[in-house]
Structure 1
């Protein structure tokens, strides 16, 4: 009987050790290499759709306090922020083994106030001026090149776990109808070409003041320009403002999986044409 008990306890101990080392390896992987990220909102359409799943390349820009994972499990009362783990790296707006991001990169970063993870396109580098005039982006006083990209169409229905309906340029559209937006192809200084969407002309963020990007900071915008809270809105718990270098988490390079449904388990809503799709 004693031998049986020792064997049972030994098996439990081996299981505990296996789980422990698996968690350590997963933590190192997520902290140093790649972080999973689900697209929860429509601010980056049509580059990224609600329900896209990707891994963020943390090696692209080096490491800062924001590289540490935040652990938020509300049902268990766990709310550990990245700053709680790696706060000793915070404060000087620098990075370890840090490479500068490039204009046009799609970047995941920590919101400077709310500390939530955001994903947007990098538009303005340190020292740049950025302004929107009549819906057209101007960088350093020059308008960017824009071409007609046709029409982006999707079904007017709840999208993703949050169940939000898309905004449409052809509203009112009933549920199940075809929701349309104007698609444009924008070429940024440096040559990055990407699609963006326009829902309506004449909105507040179509005309802005001139923003000057300070040293060590970056200016971000969503590709779905009329449905994005980004650096055009002053930094609050809602607006993004200028994002410090140390708040960058990593670069989004490729979509690994995509589901149009309320759950990834709804296999009939999987978007097979987006699996392993490169992000432009």
Structure 2
């Protein structure tokens, strides 16, 4: 129910378990977990403390207590609770949460160790893949040490979480949005500094004049999606990600699978995600380089100035 977003149903189920089994540690742990999902963290913490009094040897209780303490900003208590939970029952999710808390505190090396432990403790391939992804995220955050994640710009956090480069950071409302030509010039600078060479520039979506400028500067032919050649080290370009378009999905998947070429979009509307939560998976955009974050609706599109 928690994973399906059925928070109220989860709380009702927990209350039913409590009515049937009394104030057992397990039923209290269920209630505490449901209260966490409803963001009633202080109530959850009190309920989980009752569960600890009932049975201090139930790993689930300590895990949920650690999460509640984390959401209340008490990192030290959260880490102590998670250490107790892992000591009682080694579990990959406990180590992943420990890694998250350490990373948010800017303790990147310790966080990476926790995620490596989570990968080793994984019982399923999905758990191992999730832990390995977090190792990569943590290593990218470490580029910005000693700054913590909450001290980074949105562009820096996006790179750390997804590996996607954002060329222009729009942190202040007084900063005018860059035009297409400025973003293309920034991409060319990045390509030059990185030593990138492309065999073709493949356009998807609207045929913008800036794509011809970009192709000429890269000394690569400008072609449409039908002429995409995955062996040519292509640069796939678009105004924005087009996840609903079959051509976009096919071409970007091919670039990712072959690990050759890049995907560049001028702008991307990031979802409204609080700093306490990570951005979506990289596959949500499939882009390797983003020009700038655009304002989400109803703010409208970034002006196109050529």
TM range (shorter): under 0.3
Task: Please report the TM-score for the alignment, with normalisation by the length of structure 2.
Answer: 0.25
TM-score normalised per structure 1: 0.27
**Structure with greater strand percent:** 1
Q: Over alpha carbons, which structure has the higher Rg?
A: 2
Q: Quick check: which one's helix share is greater?
A: 2
Higher relative contact order (CA 8 A, sep 6+): 1
